[in-house]
Every structure is written in C-alpha cells, then in structure tokens.
Amino acid sequence: MYSRIFLSLLLICAGATTASAYTLDDIQWDKSIDSATLHWGDSVEDNGYTITAEDFQKDEHVYISISKNGQTLKHGALLVGDNLEYRDTEEGKDIRVHANEVKVNIDEWTGNMEDPTAEISIYNRGKPEFDISIETDRDEYDPRITSKAEIEVTLKIKNDGSAKAEDVQLSVDPAGMDVVEGDLTESISSLEIDETTEEYELTLKVPHLWEETDLDIVATVEGYDINGDLHKNEEIETVTIAPKVELMITKSIPEEIYMDETARVLVSIRNNGLYDVSNITVKDKIIDHMELLDDVVLNKNISLDAGETIKIFEYSMKPTKSGEFKAPATIASFKASNGKIYEYESNQPEIQVDGPVITVTQSTESSTIRPSDEVKVTVKVSNKGNRDASVKAVSEIPDDVTFVRGETSLDQVIPEGKSKSYNYIIRAGNEGNFTVPAARASFIDMENYKGERVSNILQFDIINTSTQDAATDASNKADSQISDDSGDDNSIFSDDESNGGSGETNENNKVQPGFDALMVIFVLTGIYVFGIKR
C-alpha cells in the first residue's frame, strides 16, 4: 500500500520537474549579442537581463554581474575565455556571458589601470525552429481529366533552430479532401539541429466542385525544447481545382468582309463536364452596325449531356457601316443543385468591314420665309467609310420656286472620312408652302461596290408678312386723319370740302381775317342792281 503511494508521488514529481530537469551542461547556446565592449561600470541589456562590468583587476580579470529587475542573480570574475552562466529555473531564460578580451591598460609610470575594457559575447538558451517543405505534383487539378484526379503531396521537416526538438508531431489539414493513401499525422521522437526528416507522402482525391476553387493544404509541426516549451510552425500549399461542369461556348465569324457582303455567324456550345445539365438559357446579340437577315430567335433553353456538343445559333448579318467591330459574347447560364446560378461567356471575335459609307444631308438656315425671299440650300455628301468612292449627287428644284444661282449637282471622288458640299439659292413664290425634294447620290468604289443614297426633305412655310404691315399702316393713318379734322373749330369748310376730300391743307385756301364780311356786301349789291334792271 505505502509502496504504491510512494510510486505515485514519485511519478507526479517526475512529471512536474521534467521541464526543468536539465543542467547548464545540457543547454545548447545561441549567440544573442556577438560583441559588446564594456568600460568600468558599463552595462548592456539582453533578454530582460542587465550585464555589468563591475570591476577590473590588474591580473586581467573582469568582474561581471548578471541582474534582473535590480536584483543580482549571478556574478563572478572572468579571464579571457571564461563564461558566467545563469540557469533560470522559472522561465527557462538561461543566459551565458563569455569574455572575449580584457584590456586593463596599466600605465608604465603609475602602475594604475587606465580605462580598462572588456569585450564580451552573450548567449541565450537555443530553441528549435521548424522549416516545413510541402509540395504537390502540380498546381492545378481537373476532376474531368483522369490523370489529374489525384493530388500527390510530399512533406518533410528540417530543424532550422539552435537547439534540439523533441516529441515532434506533423499534422496535415487536407482542406476537406479525401485521403487516398498515406497518413495525415506523423510522429518524430526528436530532431537535432539542421536535421531533416524523411519524406512523407500523401495522396488526396480531387473533389468535384461546381466552380473553380483554390484549396489550402495546411501542414503544421509542433515540438518541444529542453525546457518543455512548445514550438510551432505551419506551411500552406494552395492548389486550384477546376469545376466539375463547364460550358464552353465558341462563336465564329469571318475576319473581314466588304460592305456588299454578308457575315455568317456560328455559335456552338459544349458541356465539358462530368454531369448532365438541364435548363440552360443561352442568349446572343448581333454585332453593332449589323442587320440580322435571318428569321432566328437569339434566346434558347436547352439541356446538355456530359460531353455533348451542339450548334445552337447560325445566322447571317449585313453591315451598315464599315470599320472594325467586336462581336458581343454569347452567354449561357443555369441554376445548379446548390442553388447558385453559374454563367459562361463565349469568345468575342472581331470583324473588319471594308467599303465607303455615303450619307447625304440637306440643310437651310430657316424653314419659315416671306414671299419672294431668297433661300440658300446646302447639300453635304459625306464618306464615313474606310474606302474612297466616286460620288454623283443631284438636287431637284421644285416647280413652285425660282432658281436664282448656285450648283445643283456634284460629281467627285470623296476620300474616306471626308465630305464635299454644294449649295444653291432659290426664290420663294406666293403665300403657302413648298417642299425641296430629297437629293440623290450614287456612288461606286474601286472594288465595284456601288449604291444609291437619298437625303432628307426640306419643308418651307411662306408667310405674307407685308400684308400684315400694310393693314397696320392704314389703321395708323385713319387714326391720324380723325385727329386733324377735329383740330380746327374756326374754319368755315372742313379740310375735306376745301380740298376735295383730299385731307390736305394749303396756305392759299385759308380765308384772311375781315374778307368774309366784304364778300357778303358785294354779293348783296350785285343782286340789288340786277333786280332794278329787270
């Protein structure tokens, strides 16, 4: 009974003291400070300790002390090559001070030391460090390819530290992948300084995922030093896993066509995966500045077996403009069993369209004019294409206007990207409106590509503003006449009587003062004489 109790206590004590059950002779030292020169009373700090040169002796001894938090822990006199060591039983922060050189500098005359110095090195207890090598046979894996369906992992460990490691454990986190062969853990009893383990091999199965995914394989190493302190390191190797299903869409079009040619478009889709896919929506769009010639629906819903390829769209387009254009991507999408929607795009091929692009426009300053006004019409012919063209343009003069002067046609070569113009002047007729018909242009280029173009139509409104002005003037004169007639109350005749209704006043027609009475007397006398004679 007592022997069992004693044995149990012995095991407990042994376990409690294992971490500290080593001596200074067991320590593997790691240099912390390569060289420090101390004068009399100088100190240097390292790892929480203060190392001081307390005193010197003529026999080339230096008196060194090791202290911490103001308390001296160890002291001693050192000659060159001697060590002063302190064993930290609580935290394991052991320290060694080594005397490299001592100079007492004795004066020949006085025999005294002149500024003695000691050069020392400081060491701490060494610790293990782990360098982990983790490699895979490739960086990317595709579950659809048999040769890439497994991941070969190779691992090894090296002790890059300054002390031996014990009870070393290697563990691997495979990022959820299944293990085909090998172990996820390895045990190494000890690992000396600069020692490397054997290679450990592990085979993992490539998972089937809906989308391309980066997976991290994590290797972790743990080990203990002589003081029982745990040391740990980890290394990550990232591998890329291709999706288990991938829709590959290919669009093809001619690289180059002429303006009078058509472009044939072919779109195919392939289920490059391990599983069948249903309810796939595929959408396409035509290229800018192209017209669809075929009666085709560019939106379809399909299903594809694993590995199946079909031609989904085939149609023709006609260009409306020359230049270089990029085809929009055809897009396919489906909803997977995980609830996510996955989308795939085709390539975007480019097409070069060659040829002239002729446009004709008519313009004028105003569409509202008065009768007999002159109107200037400008016709502009532009070549917006990438080839020169010979152009003949003609304007038609309406019957209800008069041609005044100018040019009504054009016959020139218009270079690519350039414009030519001509203009003419016409005179408007009576009140109403008239229309200038569209100008017409025909063209042909060096490739015998030809065509005709028509311009816009000009509409003019004629407003008789002079009639309105005359009516306004008459009204103003009538108002003035009424004002003159009521202005002279002393006249015997109104301006209308004396002037025959002309409304004008003359100085000779005015009656002088007193002359009206004399005229009455003469008239009465004449009547009287004429009566006597009878």
Question: Residue 261 is part of a domain; what is its CATH number?
Answer: 2.60.40.10
Residues 512 and 531 in one domain: yes
Question: Which residues on neighbouring strands pair with residue 309, listed in sequence order?
Answer: 270
Residues 451 and 379 in one domain: yes
pLDDT at 428 over 60: yes
pLDDT at 360: 98
Cβ burial 170-209 (10 Å sphere, 16+ → b, else e): bebebbebeeeebeeebebeebebeeebeebebebbbbee
State the burial class of residue 517 (Cβ atoms within 10 Å of its Cβ: 0-12, 13-18, 19+). Answer: exposed
DSSP 445-505: -TT--EEEEE-PPEEEEE--HHHHHHHHHHHHHHHHHHHHHTT-TT-SS-HHHHTTT----
- Quick check: is 416 in a domain? yes
Confidence of residue 20 (pLDDT cuts 50, 70, 90): low
State the average pLDDT over residues 1-16: 41
- Quick check: is 2 in a domain? no
Residue type, 441: A
Domain boundary pick from 214, 241, 268: 241
Domain boundary pick from 125, 152, 171: 125
- 49 within 8 A of 84, measured Cβ to Cβ: no
Give the Cα-Cα-Cα angle 478, 484, 489 (nearest 5 degrees): 140
- Quick check: is 479 in a domain? no
Residues 269 and 349 in one domain: yes
Residues 219 and 273 in one domain: no
Minimum mean pLDDT among 2-6, 50-54, 105-109, 135-139: which range?
Answer: 2-6
Residues 362 and 457 in one domain: yes
Minimum mean pLDDT among 47-61, 305-319, 410-424, 511-525: which range?
Answer: 511-525
- 363 within 8 A of 378, measured Cβ to Cβ: yes
pLDDT at 292 over 70: yes
Q: Which two tokens stand for residue 232?
A: 């740990």
Residues 194 and 175 in one domain: yes
DSSP 53-97: EEEEETTTEEEEEEEETTEEEEEEEE-TT-EEEE--TTT---EEE
Residues 264 and 349 in one domain: yes
pLDDT at 338: 92
Residues 271 and 334 in one domain: yes
Confidence of residue 5 (pLDDT cuts 50, 70, 90): very low
Encode pLDDT of 54-104 as tens digits. Answer: 999 999 999 999 999 999 999 999 999 999 999 999 999 999 999 999 999
Q: Which two tokens stand for residue 206?
A: 């490539």
Residue 245 is classified by DSSP as -
pLDDT at 504 over 60: no
Query: What is the 3-state secondary structure of 290-352?
Result: EEECCCCCCEEEEEECCCCEEEEEEEEEEECCCEEEECCCCEEEEECCCCCEEEEECCCCEEE
- Quick check: is 5 in a domain? no
Domain boundary pick from 331, 354, 377: 354
Domain limits at 273?
253-354
pLDDT at 501 over 90: no
Name the more confident of 526 and 133: 133
Residues 295 and 369 in one domain: no
Residues 101 and 171 in one domain: no
- 150 within 8 A of 53, measured Cβ to Cβ: no
How far is it, in rounded angstroms, from Cα 318 to Cα 290?
A: 5
Residue 287 is classified by DSSP as P
- Quick check: is 177 in a domain? yes
Confidence of residue 296 (pLDDT cuts 50, 70, 90): very high
- Quick check: is 426 in a domain? yes
Percent with pLDDT over 70 in the chain:
83
Helix (H) or strand (E) holding 50: strand 49-57
Q: Work out how many domains the chain is built from and give that number.
A: 5
How far is it, in rounded angstroms, from Cα 207 to Cα 91?
A: 47
- Quick check: is 72 in a domain? yes
Residues 517 and 451 in one domain: no
Q: Which two tokens stand for residue 530?
A: 């004429």
Question: Which residues on neighbouring strands pair with residue 354, listed in sequence order?
Answer: 258
pLDDT at 532 over 70: no
- 381 within 8 A of 410, measured Cβ to Cβ: yes
Cβ burial 272-305 (10 Å sphere, 16+ → b, else e): bbeeebeebebebebbeebeeeeeeebeeebebe
State the average pLDDT over residues 326-339: 96
Q: Is 518 helix (H, G, I), strand (E, B) or coil?
A: helix
- Quick check: is 246 in a domain? no
pLDDT at 465: 64
pLDDT at 490: 35
Give the Cα-Cα-Cα angle 251, 352, 250 (nearest 5 degrees): 5
Residues 392 and 377 in one domain: yes
Strands 230-241 and 140-141: parallel
State the average pLDDT over residues 491-509: 33
* Average pLDDT taken over every residue of the chain: 86
Q: Which two tokens stand for residue 155?
A: 């691992």
